């Protein structure tokens, strides 16, 4: 589709070179676009240029403004990462709403679906079907994006203009009717699209199946888990009496099971096609370095057998700014550290020593606030057994990126050994206290903790205990964190996933990145099949295909874990909440930083206080990171001890960012202008 967009730009440019003696043709007619394959390619380019893809240019707080300014990933209260800017906030709405834009795109899709058949004599049947199938794909995806934001929405499957005129106003359908209409569109797209796309970068039948599975997982989850939210999270519109959010008491279970069955069938069809597989080009059994390299390479390999639908970029025509905003400090162009992974995210992955409660061990005490710090010769020793997958997602302190060790240090500690936890209070209520507030730093006459307020602050000099040499260095190292400058890491960690390790420093800059974004990949299909299988089994439902669903689910999870270098489950999944949580946790691990987690924790209904124990995709006490009304995430902060000549790590809250979430926010508010001007469009209940 990138090539088609370039073609469209060329057509538009040529259209400007016309004789002044000929009246301009202000509107390109259907005859111009639908009489030939090249014209239809231009039409498709318009459709796909409007698609609500959530990739590098999408930031949840801003919505679909098409701008990669401050480009970052996973900062919308998912716990994956934080960033310094106000875009780091709970996912409760978008400043650039999808509502109005959706109906513009839906109008154009409807026009293609309705009009192209009148030109059927110009095309072979297979070509005609593919173009019409693209229209159904676009409409299905546009409505999927509507439904998971707003619940029931006006369903328009014929060509009318938007904004709606008084005589053609369309009321919101029920949430059930909305998801049923979406299901119908996905099925139609699947029936029309070919197994292999004729046009590069456009979806084929299996892409439609994969996106259908994603949509039906959302619908099935909402139907089921709305019931666990206070008030059952359902309600009628005041203007029409239509159940605009949620499902009725007598229908939610049937709907949930039906949607999960549709998700399972769609995912299994992709799996059975044999066209896709997990990326293993440089993978080797038992070789952690090869497994890390394999997962690090896959994000930029357009020939990956895992890719189902990819959004390609090409500088300078179509580009983004992830490298400019989320690279480590030493590659600051013009900003850095836009995506700071959390210690909470690390907790999900294998390969760390643990306390009895399962949290990552950094001291010899019962938890990270007790005992004395464990010491390491090199900061990378702490991560020696971490999952290769995690290393491919996150830059660890001391690891290499762009052939350079990324020095990350919170500060230098010159006090005596052993070293007790630096902070005097690690509780959630004290999260606003920083390291610079600790007496080890504030007592200038007996200072034992040295920090760098900024990269420009003077260096620290000490005697190396191992060599006896005098060392002069920055307290916070080359990449921070600097306590008064949040343009270096805020959590002790940097993003690696999707950054370009081969892009020269002089080519890092705003709008200069062009690595592709994988919109749908085979691993997500495996996860969809596994989740749907366990959900159906929990409900006592048989397989819609007559196969052993739980064996399919088990094999899918093991396949993903094996590729990741993770610890594989040793027993088969069962029809239990524990097995459901295994699948959820694996989904959170595998799809981190891919614009997926924010939707998962919404559809599982686990962000509100009553249900937050399941936030991480597993049963986990959240009282340590929440006070009930708000919650925060932690960082993993490395320090160097001059007395030991070794490193230690502290875990504490990232102090700048807190989040909150009310059950009402599981559905976005309808744009107020749409409600006030309409006799039929309702605002969400309870707003």
What are the structure tokens assigned to 326, written together?
């989320």
pLDDT at 29: 85
Are 174 and 106 within one domain? Answer: yes
- Asked whether the beta carbons of 179 and 263 are under 8 A apart, the reply is no
Statement: residue 458 has pLDDT above 80: no
pLDDT band at 164 (very low <50, low <70, confident <90, very high): low
Statement: residue 8 has pLDDT above 80: no
**pLDDT tens digits, one per residue of 512-564:** 999 999 999 999 999 999 999 999 999 999 999 999 999 999 999 999 999 99
The pLDDT of 428-438, averaged and rounded, is: 87
Length of the chain: 687
Parent domain of 38: 1-48
The pLDDT of 333-343, averaged and rounded, is: 96
Percent of the chain's residues with pLDDT above 90: 84
Are 359 and 430 within one domain? Answer: yes
Are 469 and 533 within one domain? Answer: no
Residue labelled with tokens 């489950």: 569
What are the structure tokens assigned to 185, written together?
């569109």
Statement: residue 659 has pLDDT above 80: yes
Are 450 and 433 within one domain? Answer: yes
The pLDDT of 404-429, averaged and rounded, is: 95
Are 596 and 529 within one domain? Answer: yes
The pLDDT of 94-102, averaged and rounded, is: 93
The pLDDT of 384-397, averaged and rounded, is: 98
Most confident of 96-100, 226-230, 626-630, 647-651: 647-651
In a domain, 224, yes or no: no
pLDDT at 23: 36
What does pTM read for this prediction?
A: 0.94
**pLDDT tens digits, one per residue of 463-509:** 888 888 999 998 999 999 998 888 999 999 999 999 999 999 888 99
The pLDDT of 622-648, averaged and rounded, is: 94
In a domain, 54, yes or no: no
- Asked whether the beta carbons of 62 and 75 are under 8 A apart, the reply is no
What are the structure tokens assigned to 414, written together?
């010159």
Are 477 and 545 within one domain? Answer: no
Statement: residue 11 has pLDDT above 50: no
Are 389 and 435 within one domain? Answer: yes
Are 637 and 618 within one domain? Answer: no
- Asked whether the beta carbons of 461 and 474 are under 8 A apart, the reply is no
In a domain, 684, yes or no: no
Whole-angstrom CA distances from 549 to 112, 263, 264, 434 are: 39, 12, 9, 50
Are 453 and 414 within one domain? Answer: yes
Statement: residue 161 has pLDDT above 90: no
Q: What is the DSSP string of 255-309?
A: HHHHHHHHHHHHHHHHHHH-S-----TT--TT-HHHHHHHHHHGGG-TT-TTEEE
pLDDT at 1: 47
pLDDT at 623: 85
Whole-angstrom CA distances from 275 to 207, 278, 448, 521 are: 11, 11, 60, 12
Statement: residue 678 has pLDDT above 50: yes
Last residue of a domain, one of 193, 223, 240: 193
Statement: residue 277 has pLDDT above 70: yes
Are 385 and 464 within one domain? Answer: yes
Q: How many domains does the structure of the chain reveal?
A: 4
The pLDDT of 294-305, averaged and rounded, is: 97
pLDDT band at 163 (very low <50, low <70, confident <90, very high): low
pLDDT at 550: 98
What spatial distance separates the first Cα and last Cα of the chain, rounded to whole Å? 40
CATH of the domain at 172: 1.25.40.390
Percent of the chain's residues with pLDDT above 70: 95
Statement: residue 613 has pLDDT above 60: yes
In a domain, 92, yes or no: no
In a domain, 348, yes or no: yes
CA angle, corner 547, sides to 541 and 551, nearest 5?
90
Window from 433-447, 457-471, 645-659, 672-686 with minimum mean pLDDT: 457-471
pLDDT at 17: 34
pLDDT at 6: 43
pLDDT at 7: 42
Eight-class DSSP state of 686: T
Secondary structure percentages of the chain, helix, strand, coil, to 5: 40, 10, 50
pLDDT band at 267 (very low <50, low <70, confident <90, very high): very high
Residue labelled with tokens 């597993």: 618
* Higher pLDDT among residues 684 and 7, named by residue: 684
Instruction: Return the bridge partners of 401, or none.
Output: 404
Preceding amide of 316 cis, omega within 30:
yes
- The rounded Cα 598 to chain-centroid distance in angstroms is 6
Q: What is the DSSP string of 369-412?
A: TSS-B--BSSGGGGGTTS-HHHHHHEE-TT-EETTEE----SEE
Statement: residue 449 has pLDDT above 70: yes
Query: How far apart, in whole angstroms, are the C-alpha atoms of residue 516 and residue 677?
Result: 41
pLDDT at 167: 59
pLDDT at 459: 84
Q: Name every residue whose Cβ is closer than 8 Å to that of residue 12 and which is 6 or more positions away in sequence.
A: none
pLDDT band at 19 (very low <50, low <70, confident <90, very high): very low
In a domain, 529, yes or no: yes
Q: What is the DSSP string of 578-598?
A: HHHHHHHHHHHHHTTTTT-HH
In a domain, 507, yes or no: no
Statement: residue 341 has pLDDT above 50: yes
Statement: residue 22 has pLDDT above 70: no
Are 458 and 553 within one domain? Answer: no
Are 355 and 455 within one domain? Answer: yes
Residue labelled with tokens 């070179």: 17
In a domain, 256, yes or no: no
**pLDDT tens digits, one per residue of 139-158:** 999 999 999 999 999 999 98
* Higher pLDDT among residues 554 and 458, named by residue: 554
pLDDT at 340: 98
pLDDT band at 162 (very low <50, low <70, confident <90, very high): low
pLDDT at 165: 60
Statement: residue 453 has pLDDT above 60: yes
pLDDT at 166: 56
């Amino acid at each position: 589709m990138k090539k088609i967009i370039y073609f469209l730009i060329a057509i538009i440019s040529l259209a400007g070179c016309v004789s002044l003696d000929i009246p301009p043709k202000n509107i390109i007619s259907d005859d111009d676009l639908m009489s030939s394959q090249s014209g239809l390619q231009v039409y498709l380019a318009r459709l796909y240029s409007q698609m609500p893809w959530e990739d590098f240019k999408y930031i949840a707080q801003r919505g679909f403004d098409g701008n990669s300014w401050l480009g970052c990933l996973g900062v919308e209260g998912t716990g994956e990462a934080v960033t310094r800017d106000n875009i780091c906030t709970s996912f409760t709405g978008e400043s650039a709403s999808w509502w109005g834009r959706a109906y513009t795109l839906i109008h154009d899709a409807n026009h293609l679906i309705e009009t192209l058949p009148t030109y059927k004599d110009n095309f072979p049947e297979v070509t005609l079907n593919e173009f019409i199938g693209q229209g159904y794909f676009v409409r299905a995806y546009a409505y999927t994006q509507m439904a998971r934001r707003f619940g029931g929405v006006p369903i328009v499957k014929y060509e009318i203009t938007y904004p709606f005129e008084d005589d053609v106003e369309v009321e919101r359908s029920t949430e059930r009717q909305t998801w049923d209409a979406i299901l119908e569109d996905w099925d139609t797209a699947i029936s029309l699209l070919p197994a292999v796309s004729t046009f590069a970068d456009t979806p084929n039948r299996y892409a439609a199946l994969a996106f259908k599975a994603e949509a039906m997982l959302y619908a099935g989850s909402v139907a089921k888990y709305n019931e666990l939210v206070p008030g059952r999270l359902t309600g009628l519109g005041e203007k029409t009496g239509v159940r605009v959010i949620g499902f009725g008491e007598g229908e939610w279970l049937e709907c949930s099971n039906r949607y999960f069955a549709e998700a399972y069938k769609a995912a299994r069809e992709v799996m059975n096609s044999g066209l896709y597989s997990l990326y293993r080009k440089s993978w080797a059994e038992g070789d952690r370095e090869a497994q890390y390299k394999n997962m690090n390479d896959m994000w930029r390999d357009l020939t990956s057998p895992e890719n189902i639908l990819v959004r390609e970029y090409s500088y300078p025509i179509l580009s983004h700014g992830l490298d400019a905003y989320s690279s480590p400090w030493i590659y600051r162009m013009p900003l850095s550290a836009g995506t700071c992974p959390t210690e909470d995210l690390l907790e999900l992955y294998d390969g760390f020593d643990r306390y009895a409660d399962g949290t990552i061990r950094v001291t010899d005490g019962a938890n990270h606030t007790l005992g004395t710090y464990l010491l390491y010769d090199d900061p990378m020793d702490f991560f020696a057994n971490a999952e290769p997958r995690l290393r491919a997602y996150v830059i660890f302190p001391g690891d290499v990126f762009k052939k350079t060790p990324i020095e990350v240090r919170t500060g230098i500690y010159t006090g005596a050994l052993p070293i007790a936890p630096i902070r005097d209070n690690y509780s959630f209520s004290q999260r606003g206290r920083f390291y610079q507030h600790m007496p080890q730093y504030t007592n200038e006459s007996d200072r034992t903790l040295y920090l760098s307020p900024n990269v420009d602050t003077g260096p620290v000099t000490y005697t190396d205990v191992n060599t006896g040499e005098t060392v002069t260095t920055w307290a916070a190292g080359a990449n921070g964190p600097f306590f008064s400058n949040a343009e270096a890491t805020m959590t002790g960690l940097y993003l690696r996933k999707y950054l370009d390790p081969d892009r020269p420093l002089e080519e890092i800059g705003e709008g200069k990145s062009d690595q592709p974004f994988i919109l749908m990949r085979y691993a997500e299909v495996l996860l969809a099949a596994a989740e749907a299988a366990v959900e159906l089994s929990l409900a006592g439902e048989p397989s819609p295909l007559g196969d052993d669903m739980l064996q399919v689910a088990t094999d899918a999870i093991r396949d993903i874990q094996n590729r990741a270098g993770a610890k594989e489950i040793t027993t088969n999944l069962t029809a239990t909440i524990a097995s459901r949580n295994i699948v959820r946790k694996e989904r959170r691990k595998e799809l981190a930083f891919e614009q997926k987690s924010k939707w998962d924790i919404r559809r599982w209904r686990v962000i509100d206080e009553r249900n937050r124990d399941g936030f991480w995709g597993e049963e986990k006490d959240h009282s340590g990171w929440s006070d009930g009304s708000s919650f925060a995430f932690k960082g993993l902060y490395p320090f160097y001890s001059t007395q030991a000549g070794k490193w230690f790590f502290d875990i504490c809250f990232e102090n700048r960012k807190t989040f909150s979430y009310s059950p009402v926010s599981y559905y976005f508010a309808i744009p107020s202008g749409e409600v006030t001007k309409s006799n039929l469009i309702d605002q969400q209940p309870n707003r």
